Structure 1
Amino acid sequence: MGLSLLFLGGLIMASQWKGMDVFETALAWWPLIFILLGLEVVIYTLWFKGKGKMYYDVLSIFFVGFLSLCCLVFAGLSSLGLTQEIRQMVSSVEHNYPLPEWSGSVPAGVKQVIVQGDNPYGVTVDKTGGTELNVFGTYVSNDGRLGADDEDQLLRTKVAGDTLYILLGDTARNSLDHTRNKVNVTVAAPSELKVIVRDNSGNRVER
């Protein structure tokens, strides 16, 4: 128990002096905690073998159990590849960037607009006067601004018959970050034009 605490304390102190690089390197050696705890139990048992009763301190047993549980949790996260994603979520900084804008008169023969995306809950529809349709918005990125080709994939348009489709993409995200949409779009459409917002499964989102 004492060796385990010394190991953890020295690790944290070294990370304070030398930066997080020391901590990152030491994470690969976390099974040492199990080895130290096991050695303590084995040596203690062999030392007192045949010398009378052994007494275990309740508080030490609690700490050993707690450290073992933490190691098991960390082992599970490591095996699933989630430690890097958790670190990114905690340390990343989000920035907003403008989407490519689409503006112009409603194409001839178009009677409705369908806004479709994987998670289109960041869409706002405004009815305006005039005959122009304007589509604009922002996206959130943790890795800086996307390239022009990637930005173009976030907002695409296509005319099919009497319908103008506005197809929304999404920025890259890790498997733990599904709490909110990272693409926010405003559709300013003529008042007489019907606008439908739906997801890629065809479920309509009421506006």
Structure 2
Amino acid sequence: MYQSPSSHRIDPNTGEMSGASGRYEKRLNQLAGIYGDEEAFAAASARDGERVVYYVHEKRPQQERGDLIFGTTFMEPGRIGDEFFMTRGHIHACANRPETYYGESGNGVMLLENPEGETQVLEIAPRELVYVPPMWIHRSVNTGTTPLVMSFCYPSDSGQDYEIIARSGGMAKRIVARGNGWAAVDNESYRPRSAEEIARVKASIA
């Protein structure tokens, strides 16, 4: 009847989490379409396509409403052209579900966008917690020279919609290298969402 309590140790250097029930990874050749410089991506993928860009350890006690999914993300440093390594990004399939990210090591940013295209960029660093409110698309980006490790937590019935980004030609902003830091620049391929798609997102609450 009762779920067993548990504790989990996170290694801030590797992202390993004890007691994880699942692990998945994304290799460079699985991330086609998310970077703006397609020629640079094709060259990098041909040269080093099996390179693991990021991996996730997670714990899913239950899939039922009322529980939590939690875990860690480990992302390597790197760039495709001027654009930093990043996750695919998503909005929750039940769009009114929030998420938190806590910086364990490294430096990066969380790129956030609401369905209407408003953008915010929040920095992630050790002992920095980022709150992603309901209804926000989000993608993490490693802007540093060392791995970015974060822990995360979100409601177990959230689900993920990755295609909302692809349907708009990417997110409205791209995070690129500028001098010794980073900048958020306009994505020239971005297509604003229609009123119908925005309405579908807002209707996907449960």
Report the TM range for the smaller structure's normalisation.
Answer: under 0.3
Structure showing the higher helix proportion among its residues: 1
Q: TM-score, normalised by structure 1?
A: 0.26
Q: TM-score, normalised by structure 2?
A: 0.26
Structure showing the higher strand proportion among its residues: 2
Work out which of the two has the higher radius of gyration on C-alpha atoms and give 1 or 2: 1
